[in-house]
């Protein structure tokens, strides 16, 4: 769920900040910890001076109508359109979406509090297992003193290799290096 409008998140109190930053936990992709329906009830009655859009787990017109009735200015749908013929996603990706049921989507878990994980809700597959295995390997290496925590944090993230490469290239391009 998010508010449209410049600076909406920064200017107001905690409720407004939540409005700008949170996405319902039912969404596909990166998620917040709170469900869309709870966020909607917490935010929509109180934030009336900027447009609020609701996102996360919406798949039918009745649900859209309900959020508009509650005061939303609009909604954002992602998963519902991922398998549409207009979508440029790979056909195998679309088929996986079409075959799946709601229970096949899981939020990524953080196995070690030292290694940050931003939760992502996605279909459970080999990538999910690999991500967890990588976290275990990295956590063991950090505990054994074989890997610095900063390096371990970037290696264990979902976008690990890309993030580590970006970090290294930023460090290399610093004038004092």
Ligand X SMILES: Cc1cc2nc3c(=O)[nH]c(=O)nc-3n(C[C@H](O)[C@H](O)[C@H](O)COP(=O)(O)O)c2cc1C
Which residues bind to ligand X, rule: CB under 6 A?
23, 26-29, 55-58, 76-80, 82
User: Smaller CB distance to ligand X: residue 40 or 77?
Assistant: 77
User: Smaller CB distance to ligand X: residue 88 or 144?
Assistant: 88
Which residues are within 8 A (CB) of 138 and not within 5 positions of it... i.e. 6 or more apart?
115, 147, 152, 155, 156
CB 1 within 8 A of CB 16: no
CB 115 within 8 A of CB 156: yes
Instruction: Tell me how far apart the alpha carbons of residues 23 and 33 are, in angstroms, rounded to a whole number.
Output: 8
User: Smaller CB distance to ligand X: residue 29 or 51?
Assistant: 29
CB 27 within 8 A of CB 56: yes
User: Smaller CB distance to ligand X: residue 28 or 152?
Assistant: 28
Q: What beta strand segments (E) does 98-176 contain?
A: 105-107, 120-123
- Residue 145 CB, nearest approach to ligand X (Å): 35
- Residue 13 CB, nearest approach to ligand X (Å): 24
Residue number, nearest CB to ligand X: 78
User: Smaller CB distance to ligand X: residue 27 or 47?
Assistant: 27
Which residues are within 8 A (CB) of 6 and not within 5 positions of it... i.e. 6 or more apart?
none
- Residue 2 CB, nearest approach to ligand X (Å): 8
- Residue 77 CB, nearest approach to ligand X (Å): 4
- Residue 39 CB, nearest approach to ligand X (Å): 12
Q: Enumerate the β-bridge partners of residue 49.
A: none
């Amino acid at each position: 769920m998010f508010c449209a409008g410049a600076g909406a998140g920064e200017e107001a109190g905690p409720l407004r900040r939540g409005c700008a930053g949170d996405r319902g936990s039912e969404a596909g992709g990166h998620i917040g910890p709170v469900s869309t329906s709870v966020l909607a009830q917490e935010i929509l009655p109180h934030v009336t001076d900027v447009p609020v859009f609701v996102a996360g787990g919406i798949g039918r017109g009745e649900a859209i109508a309900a959020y508009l009735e509650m005061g939303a200015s609009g909604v954002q749908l992602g998963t519902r359109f991922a398998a549409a013929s207009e979508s440029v996603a790979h056909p195998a990706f679309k088929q996986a979406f079409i075959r799946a049921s709601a229970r096949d989507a899981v939020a990524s878990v953080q196995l070690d509090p030292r290694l940050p994980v931003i939760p992502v809700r996605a279909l459970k597959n080999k990538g999910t297992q690999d991500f967890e295995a990588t976290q275990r390997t990295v956590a063991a290496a950090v505990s054994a003193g074989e890997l610095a925590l900063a390096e371990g944090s970037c290696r264990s993230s979902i976008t690990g290799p890309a993030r580590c490469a970006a970090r290294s290239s930023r460090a290399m391009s610093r004038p004092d290096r």
